[in-house]
Amino acid sequence: MNAVLLEGRSLTAALEDQRRRLADLRPLAAAQDLAYGTLRQYGRLDVTLRALLDKPLDPPGLAGHLLVGLHELEQGEAPDYAVVNETVRGAARLHAPARGLANAVLRNFQRRRAELQAQAARDPRAIWNFPAWWVARLRRQYPTQWQDWLRAANGHPPMTLRINPRKVSLADYLEQLRTAGLEATQTGDQALTLVRPVPVQRLPGFDAGLVSVQDLGAQYAAPLLDCTDGMRVLDACAAPGGKTGHLLELHDLDLTALDSEARRLDRVRQNLDRLGRNARLVRGDAGDPAAWWDGRPFQRILLDAPCTASGVVRRHPDGKWLKREEDIQQLASEQARLLDALWPLLAPGGTLLYATCSVFVEENRAQVAAFLQRHDDAREQAIALPGAASGQLPLTESHDAFFYALLVKT
């Protein structure tokens, strides 16, 4: 918690560090659940904690222990006395004199719970469990949908699988799931959504590449690009390779998978190896093609651009608290740089699919409108996606939010 809240690190990176450090990984699964749960509810927990304190915490790292303790008391899965004991012990390990304070905070919460909850119910941060700027922006940009989106964003994400048609049919895999005691329903051409999420190791044939885990919204990308066998394709921001794998399951392509991060490209290699597919992996900046492009145009380009990831915060609740409003404009400038740099690499008649997993207009509709203003050899081809307006797929119980725009070179 403190790595995220005080050091600004991502929860995934912080958990990865712990995984490397710990000899016994068993306690980590429980700690991971608590961290995700606490960050999902951080708006309300933080408002509650502040109401219980009369001065700032010293050292500030105590907040992590107290927030997790409050979350556990609210959740009610462990007995209250055990939560209080454990939290007090954790706080004392960090700072011995904090024992009394931790005890008082949790005991006060138990006593004043109803009053504190009523108080929190008047604060937008606590009501929505999102930063106030995020709520205000979403409300402005989506006046009729913002509440549904925020509600969905606070729920638990579905676990959707993508069947690899090179290895198994959807009907056969559904049967394999049933045999393994796992219930699922078909939600897309290659998509099965599990009734209850499970660790990937429990998925039949996962290591053999029968199936990948990929949100339903992300599964729209590869078919939208409408490739045919033999095409020369660039996946410009490819890692960890979810969409690369999907493109190569659908067609035999001459595909270049580019990413600026070598370690993330390793993940692309591992994913493609598992699926039994192949691509040319290149490390480079999509905004500087002179450094890696051989001069031969691509017929299709997928630009799954770096973005605020505001559409996938249900899976990464730390993102709600790590992102700052200023990041939106910075990322929008970077996206424009990548779009402009890649456009000359597209063959006439070719298509570029611009994608983000964001909901903010600056990264999506406004970005595309500005691009079309700058490039008179570009036109947008309309796309039809279930529930989407102008390429913006909403955040629902069934999938995360994504934005897609198909840009054709005239």
Ligand X SMILES: C[S@@+](CC[C@H](N)C(=O)[O-])C[C@H]1O[C@@H](n2cnc3c(N)ncnc32)[C@H](O)[C@@H]1O
Considering only CA atoms, which of 322, 406, 404 is closest in space to residue 356? 404
Tell me how far, at minimum, the Cβ of 357 lies from ligand X, in Å.
6
Binders in 331-360 for ligand X, by CB under 6 A: 338
Report H helices in 192-312.
221-225, 242-250, 262-275
**240: contact with ligand X by CB under 6 A:** yes
Task: Supply 36's token pair.
Answer: 């995700």
Q: Are 237 and 306 in contact (CB under 8 A)?
A: yes
Residues 261, 273, 340, 377: which binds ligand X (CB under 6 A)?
261
Residues 40, 44, 243, 300: which binds ligand X (CB under 6 A)?
243
Residues 260, 276, 390, 408: which binds ligand X (CB under 6 A)?
260
Tell me how far, at minimum, the Cβ of 311 lies from ligand X, in Å.
11
Question: Which C-beta is closer to ligand X: that of 116 or that of 339?
Answer: 339
The edge-to-edge listing of strands for the beta sheet with 191-194 is 184-186, 191-194, 159-163, 211-213
Ramachandran region, residue 153 (left: φ > 0; alpha: ψ -120 to 50; beta: rest): alpha
**120: contact with ligand X by CB under 6 A:** no
Q: Hey, what amino acid is at 135?
A: V
**Cβ-Cβ contacts under 8 Å for 181 (sequence gap 6 or more):** none
* CB count in 10 Å sphere of residue 390: 14
Tell me how far, at minimum, the Cβ of 271 lies from ligand X, in Å.
8
Question: Which C-beta is closer to ligand X: that of 259 or that of 362?
Answer: 259
Candidate ranges 11-19, 40-48, 111-119, 253-261; the one touching ligand X (CB under 6 A):
253-261
Tell me how far, at minimum, the Cβ of 307 lies from ligand X, in Å.
7
Measured distance CA(316)–CA(323) in Å, rounded: 12
Question: Which C-beta is closer to ligand X: that of 158 or that of 245?
Answer: 245
Question: Which C-beta is closer to ligand X: that of 58 or that of 261?
Answer: 261
Binding mask 281-300 for ligand X (x = CB under 6 A): ----xxx-------------
Kindly determine how many residues on this chain lie close enough to bind ligand X according to the rule CB under 6 A.
Answer: 18
Looking up tokens 């005991």 gives 107
Question: Which C-beta is closer to ligand X: that of 43 or that of 209?
Answer: 209
Binders in 302-331 for ligand X, by CB under 6 A: 304, 306
Residues 158, 217, 242, 350: which binds ligand X (CB under 6 A)?
242
Tell me how far, at minimum, the Cβ of 258 lies from ligand X, in Å.
6
Hey, which residues are catalytic here?
A: 357
**Helices 99-120 and 42-52: angle between axes, nearest 10 degrees:** 120
CA separation (Å) from 379 to 31, 138, 332, 372?
Answer: 49, 28, 20, 7
**241: contact with ligand X by CB under 6 A:** yes
**239: contact with ligand X by CB under 6 A:** yes
Task: Read off φ and ψ for residue 342, nearest 5 degrees.
Answer: -85, -25
**Cβ-Cβ contacts under 8 Å for 38 (sequence gap 6 or more):** 1, 45, 67, 68, 71
Residues 70, 88, 101, 237: which binds ligand X (CB under 6 A)?
237
Residues 50, 95, 107, 264: which binds ligand X (CB under 6 A)?
264
Considering only CA atoms, which of 99, 97, 89, 101 is closest in space to residue 56? 101
Question: Which C-beta is closer to ligand X: that of 72 or that of 249?
Answer: 249
**259: contact with ligand X by CB under 6 A:** yes
Please give the residue ranges that form the binding site for ligand X (CB under 6 A). 237-243, 258-261, 264, 285-287, 304, 306, 338
